[in-house]
């Protein structure tokens, strides 16, 4: 239930007949305040106020709420004497603000009475109820700052009255929307009273919640107040991303025939527009969240996969010695059973949705070169690498199951590799919607099993294995551990989960309402990501099935061709053997020649192991001294994720294609012949005579089933005059400017939105429209639904989450469930950071401190001493 913000008050042309009446009433109020204040003008002081103001302030207000209420009283009295439109709007905004302050204070006090019942423990206070109290208090502090700025500048010569009108109105609307959210929390409390269940006991749906509550003005969260609940450094990053998202949508939804220059010009123009006009930016962001399809989400998030962004970690990140992208061939593996080492378990290759046979990509990062590490070759003397590490970190990146890769998360992984001093293996799993559940989990599980089988070439003895992930990657990490329990193979020795969604379904909870104001994970984005991964469209499933069938046909054809060629070559070798042919490894007399012992030992081992290791990884040349092997930071080209398209069409040879093109150019009859041209001209001449003439010199004609009015008369002749040419030039310039700066519509997934022409307009839509899909209750998809038998076998788990993260309640409830099963689990809740903060470690000091918290938890799981 999202409502457009109220229409701005005080337009002169609409309120001239009432302004004087309101002004007289406000002036009387100002005189009363002045007289009661002993003839002195009221002033805003943080600690002391006049007796009149104090008597007007409700006694139940908390300290910060009382201070803001007093400031609003004083400003309302001050601007009551201002007869201008903006002065009266400032007065009205401060009066309305007072009502919201009183309401917010009462709701916060009610929620504080029971919020502690949902905490993980007494030492770890945190849940969705506390988060909204924190956000509301942040809004009060933000408003107090605006009032102090207003007090300091309202009497100056260059006072920007219009600017402060918008600031005060935006803050008042923000507090109003937060009051609506707090009322939703009271409904959730009624659904889960005395149970401690943040998920409303599972008996109620999100649709019911939004039907019971009032409307929410979502625009106020993305306008002037964007990021008000975060720290200063994070707030700047979030505003930049908001402007970038709005500007990028202009280019994304532009016409296909627009060139790069047009798109670049439009991006620069719209960036400035959204920077200078926060209200326009808010409308664009909210409408993107409501109407943009999953393709836009993927495209925007994949900006982090550009070539420039790929080079950034090696420039500003921590220096590491090994950074190698590896492709694992999809071949069956065997691993010993966890309980009985003599029994081996077959590990299947990933096959869901995309079919079997596709390789799985992983990235190996290490701060130091270690013995036996893949691709490092031989070293002599002082170049000898270090001994293998005792531990290894297995990492799954985040990105909502639909975007990003190990490369886009490399910046903080470099810091982790240096601080942990152990190899890190990060998986690039296939992404939704092309590869929905369970494809990603199958690939993560396969990569983990490959790591267990090949620890010697990863520079580790794997005495300790810890799985770590953030957001979607944390969900896959838990799924991986559950998969190991199910298959009976070695379970990781520890789990580190950062802001993890443990219930992939929009079950109503207090923290999940935070996505209505989250700058990085808006409500629409989150729902589309969950739907693309957990409940893909039927069209996507049919397309995937078609690809699998085509892939099978191609493989069968290739096998048949290979067998026929192999049999032909075999018969030829046996029947026609050249007398000059010499067997490799033997001299002319048939005696074997001894191989050079100085050849690359790893190359020979890799050749004997064949595809069980990595046959597509190029090894450095180790002939002689290989001192040039210093680092592998320039590892590979950027990873570009495209939908996998498989076709059975036989590719044409270049020579034959050129011959066909030349043949068509010479002998194909052109339809634009002289006879055809004359026929078209005759039809054009006779067509106007057959159409009835309308008034004002217009003729109606039918063309492509659309009625077009063709103007005739003096206007056509006027083009030959100087004035006509000048007008034509002006029109051309205007059309060019409009083309370079115009906004395009955003095509949503609902037919009702297809007719929208200006997505900067205000549109009211209910969030319940996003819930029209069912999610399977699968423990590998939603670990919260896993049985107690499986959860009781999980290793030591450390969970790090955020007090304003939509996944906060997921982490709290999952930690409480593990605690009830007497598993070793810890929960840490950081304040003032957004979902996905690990990607901003180089842009924000708060994010860097958050990454250090992650490192300390990982060091504990790896049984390392803190540095």
d(CA 522, CA 291): 12
Residue located via tokens 């990863």: 458
Report how far residue 121's alpha carbon sits from residue 385's, in angstroms, rounded to the nearest whole number. Answer: 46
**Could you write out the DSSP letters of every residue in 427-460?**
EE---TTTS-TTHHHHHHHHHHHHHHHTGGGGTE
* Alpha-carbon distance values, 694 to 186, 276, 624, 705 (Å): 65, 48, 91, 19
The stretch 671-694 carries a mean pLDDT of: 46
State the average pLDDT for the chain.
Answer: 77
* In contact, 147 and 75? CB cutoff 8 Å: yes
End position of a domain, from candidates 197, 216, 235: 216
Q: Are residues 494 and 386 in the same domain?
A: yes
Name the residue with higher pLDDT: 251 or 635.
251
Residue at 54 is within a domain: yes
What local confidence, expressed as pLDDT, does residue 556 receive? 76
Per DSSP, helices labelled H in 192-229 are 206-212
Pick 119 or 563 by higher pLDDT.
119
Distance CA 479, CA 579 (A): 61
Say if 238 falls within a structural domain. no
Where do we find the tokens 């989150």?
A: 526
pLDDT score at 207 = 78
What is residue 406's predicted lDDT score, i.e. its pLDDT?
95
Q: How much is the average pLDDT of 683-698?
A: 45
User: Are residues 70 and 49 in contact, defined by beta-carbon separation less than 8 angstroms?
Assistant: yes
Residue 730 pLDDT class (50, 70, 90 cuts): low
Same domain (yes/no): 207, 353: no
Between 103 and 521, the more confident residue is 103
* Pair of tokens at residue 785: 């639904």
User: At 278, is the pLDDT very low, low, confident or very high (cuts 50, 70, 90)?
Assistant: very high
pLDDT at 177 over 80: yes
Q: What is the pLDDT of residue 73?
A: 95
Count of beta carbons in the 10 Å neighbourhood of residue 668: 8
Q: Which of 30-44, 159-173, 396-410, 479-493 has the lowest mean pLDDT?
A: 30-44
pLDDT for position 754: 37
The reply to whether 700 falls in a domain is no
Task: Give the pLDDT score at 856.
Answer: 96
Give residue 653's pLDDT.
53
Q: What is the pLDDT of residues 530-584, one digit of tens each?
A: 899 998 888 888 888 888 888 778 777 766 776 666 655 544 444 433 333 333 3
pLDDT mean over 263-274: 73
pLDDT at 832 (0 to 100): 92
For position 413, what pLDDT does the model report? 97
Contacts of 93 (CB under 8 A, 6+ apart): 9, 165, 168, 169, 172
Listed in order, strand segments (DSSP E) in 663-807 are 698-703, 706-711, 796-802
Picking from 285, 201, 195, the residue whose alpha carbon sits closest to that of residue 249 is 285
Q: Is residue 823 part of a domain?
A: yes
**DSSP helix/strand/coil, 229:** coil
Residues 189 and 327 in one domain: no
Report, as an integer, the average pLDDT of 737-752: 50
Q: Which of 227, 224, 222 is nearest to 287 (CA)?
A: 222
Structural contact between residues 742 and 254, judged by C-beta atoms closer than 8 angstroms: no
Number of domains, the chain? 2
Q: How many whole angstroms separate alpha carbon 291 and alpha carbon 324?
A: 39
Instruction: Note the pLDDT of residue 655.
Output: 56
Q: What is the CATH number of the domain that holds 444?
A: 3.40.50.1820
Q: What is the mean pLDDT of residues 689-707?
A: 43
Final residue before a domain boundary, out of 190, 216, 242: 216
- Give me the domain span that covers residue 86: 12-216
> Residues 51-69: what's their mean pLDDT?
83
| pTM of the full structure | 0.75
Give a yes or no: residue 446 inside a domain: yes
In this structure, the answer to whether residues 172 and 27 fall within a common structural domain is yes
pLDDT for 813: 96
Q: How confident is the model at residue 280 (pLDDT cuts 50, 70, 90)?
A: very high
Q: Which of 199, 216, 233 is the last residue of a domain?
A: 216
Under the banding of pLDDT at 50, 70 and 90, the label for residue 407 is: very high
Q: Are residues 212 and 317 in the same domain?
A: no
- pLDDT tier at 731 (50, 70, 90 boundaries)? low
Contacts of 185 (CB under 8 A, 6+ apart): 111, 128, 129, 132, 510, 513
d(CA 544, CA 538): 10
pLDDT, tens digit, for every residue of 283-313?
999 999 888 889 999 889 888 888 878 888 8
Between 653 and 61, where is the model more confident?
A: 61
Number of CB atoms found within 10 A of residue 560's CB: 10
Confidence label for 526 from pLDDT (cuts 50, 70 and 90):
confident
pLDDT at 621 (0 to 100): 40
The pair of structure tokens assigned to 598 is 């100085």
pLDDT category at 848 given cuts 50, 70, 90 is: very high
Distance CA(548)–CA(542), nearest Å, equals 10
Shared domain for 344 and 205, answered yes or no, is no
Cα–Cα–Cα angle for 400, 402, 405, rounded to 5 degrees? 90
Pick the residue with more confidence: 227 or 686? 227
Bridge pairing between strands 698-703 and 494-498: unpaired
Position 663 confidence tier, pLDDT thresholds 50, 70, 90? very low
Q: Is the pLDDT of residue 79 over 60?
A: yes
Domain-located, residue 841? no
Verify that 196 and 335 share a domain, yes or no: no
pLDDT at 739 over 70: no
d(CA 804, CA 80): 38
Which pLDDT score is estimated for 44?
Answer: 40
Res 36: pLDDT: 41
Is 360 within a domain? yes
DSSP per-residue string spanning 552-589: HHHHHHHHHHHHHHHHHHHHHHHHS--TT---TTB-TT
CB 633 within 8 A of CB 320: yes
Average pLDDT over every residue of 788-806: 97
| pLDDT value at residue 646 | 38
Please name the residues in contact with 423: beta carbons below 8 A apart, sequence gap of 6 or more: 322, 364, 365, 366, 370, 373, 389, 392, 393, 417, 458, 459, 460
Examine the pLDDT at 826 and tell me if it is beyond 80: yes
If DSSP codes are grouped into helix, strand and coil, which group holds residue 232?
helix
- Do residues 67 and 179 both lie within one domain? yes
Residue 785 is assigned to a structural domain of this protein: yes
Residue 267 has pLDDT above 50, yes or no: yes
The pair of three-digit structure tokens given for residue 619, joined into one six-digit string: 């090894």
Rounded to whole angstroms, the Cα distance separating 198 from 810 reads 9
CA separation for the pair 430, 441 (Å, rounded) = 9
> Which of 153, 202, 150, 190 has its CA nearest to residue 172?
150
Q: Which two tokens stand for residue 450?
A: 């490959």
């Amino acid at each position: 239930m999202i409502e457009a913000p109220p229409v701005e008050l005080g337009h002169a042309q609409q309120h001239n007949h009432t302004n004087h009446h309101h002004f007289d009433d406000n002036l009387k109020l100002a005189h009363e305040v002045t007289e009661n204040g002993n003839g002195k003008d009221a002033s805003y002081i943080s600690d002391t106020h006049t007796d009149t103001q104090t008597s007007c302030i409700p006694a139940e207000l908390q300290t910060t709420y009382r201070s803001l209420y007093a400031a609003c009283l004083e400003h309302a009295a001050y601007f009551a004497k201002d007869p201008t439109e903006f002065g009266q709007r400032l007065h009205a905004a401060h009066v309305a603000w007072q009502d919201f302050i009183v309401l917010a204070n009462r709701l916060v006090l009610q929620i504080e009475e029971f919020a502690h019942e949902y905490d993980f423990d007494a030492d770890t206070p945190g849940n969705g109820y506390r988060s909204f109290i924190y956000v509301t208090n942040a809004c009060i502090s933000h408003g107090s700052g605006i009032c102090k700025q207003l007090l300091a500048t309202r009497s100056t010569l260059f006072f920007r009255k219009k600017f402060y009108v918008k600031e005060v109105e935006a803050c008042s609307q923000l507090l109003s929307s937060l009051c609506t959210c707090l009322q939703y929390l009271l409904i959730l409390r009624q659904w889960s009273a005395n149970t401690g269940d943040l998920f409303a006991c599972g008996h109620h749906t999100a649709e019911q919640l939004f039907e019971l509550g009032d409307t929410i003005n979502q625009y106020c969260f993305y306008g002037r107040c964007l990021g008000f609940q975060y720290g200063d450094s994070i707030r700047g990053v979030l505003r930049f991303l908001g402007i970038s998202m709005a500007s990028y949508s202009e280019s994304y939804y532009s016409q296909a025939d627009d060139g790069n220059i047009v798109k670049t010009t439009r991006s620069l123009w719209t960036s400035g527009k959204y920077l200078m006009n926060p209200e326009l930016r808010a409308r664009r962001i909210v409408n993107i969240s409501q109407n943009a399809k999953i393709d836009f989400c993927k495209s925007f998030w994949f900006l982090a996969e550009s070539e420039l962004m790929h080079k950034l970690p090696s420039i500003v990140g921590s220096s590491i010695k090994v950074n190698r992208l590896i492709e694992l061939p999809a071949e069956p593996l065997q691993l010993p059973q966890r309980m009985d080492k003599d029994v081996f378990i077959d590990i299947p290759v990933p096959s869901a949705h995309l079919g079997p046979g596709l390789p799985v990509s992983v990235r190996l990062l290490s701060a130091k070169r270690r013995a036996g590490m893949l691709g490092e070759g031989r070293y002599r003397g002082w170049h000898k690498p270090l001994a293998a590490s005792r531990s290894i970190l297995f990492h799954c990146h985040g990105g909502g199951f639909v975007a990003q890769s190990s490369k886009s998360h490399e910046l903080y992984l470099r810091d982790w590799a240096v601080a942990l001093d152990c190899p890190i293996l990060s998986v690039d799993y296939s992404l939704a919607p092309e590869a929905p559940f369970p494809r990603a989990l199958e690939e993560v599980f396969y990569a983990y099993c490959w790591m267990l089988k090949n620890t010697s070439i990863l520079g580790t003895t794997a005495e300790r294995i810890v799985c770590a992930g953030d957001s979607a990657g944390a969900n896959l990490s838990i799924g991986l551990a559950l998969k190991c329990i199910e298959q009976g193979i070695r379970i990781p020795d520890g789990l580190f989960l950062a802001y993890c969604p443990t219930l992939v379904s929009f079950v109503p909870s207090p923290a999940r309402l935070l996505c209505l104001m989250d700058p990085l994970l808006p409500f629409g984005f989150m729902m589309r990501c969950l739907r693309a991964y957990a409940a893909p469209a039927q069209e996507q499933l049919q397309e995937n099935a078609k690809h699998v069938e085509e892939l099978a046909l191609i493989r069968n054809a290739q096998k048949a061709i290979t067998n026929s060629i192999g049999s032909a070559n075999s018969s030829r070798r046996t029947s026609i053997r050249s007398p000059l042919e010499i067997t490799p490894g033997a001299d002319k007399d048939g005696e074997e020649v001894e191989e050079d012992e100085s050849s690359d030992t790893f190359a020979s081992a890799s050749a004997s192991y064949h595809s069980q290791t990595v046959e597509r990884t190029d090894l450095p040349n180790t002939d002689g001294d290989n001192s040039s092997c210093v680092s592998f930071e320039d590892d590979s080209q950027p990873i570009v994720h495209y939908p996998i398209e498989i076709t059975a069409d036989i590719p044409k040879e270049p020579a034959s294609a050129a011959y066909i093109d030349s043949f068509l150019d010479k002998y194909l009859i052109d339809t634009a012949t002289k006879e055809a041209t004359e026929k078209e001209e005759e039809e054009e001449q006779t067509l106007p005579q057959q159409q009835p003439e309308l008034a004002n010199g217009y003729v109606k004609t039918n063309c492509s089933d659309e009625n077009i009015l063709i103007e005739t008369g003096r206007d056509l002749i006027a083009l030959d005059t100087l004035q006509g040419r000048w007008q034509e030039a002006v029109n051309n310039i205007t059309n060019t400017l409009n083309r370079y700066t115009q906004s395009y519509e955003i095509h949503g997934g609902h037919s009702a939105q297809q007719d929208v022409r200006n997505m900067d307009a205000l549109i009211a839509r209910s969030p319940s429209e996003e819930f029209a899909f069912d999610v399977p209750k699968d423990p590998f998809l939603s670990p919260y639904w896993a049985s107690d038998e499986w959860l009781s076998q999980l290793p030591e788990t450390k969970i790090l989450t955020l007090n304003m993260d939509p996944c906060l309640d997921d982490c709290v409830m999952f930690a409480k469930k593990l605690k009830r099963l007497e598993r070793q689990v810890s929960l840490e809740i950081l304040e003032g950071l957004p979902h996905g903060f690990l990607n901003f470690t180089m842009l924000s000091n708060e994010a860097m401190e958050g990454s250090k918290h992650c490192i300390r938890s990982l060091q504990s799981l790896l049984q390392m001493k803190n540095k």
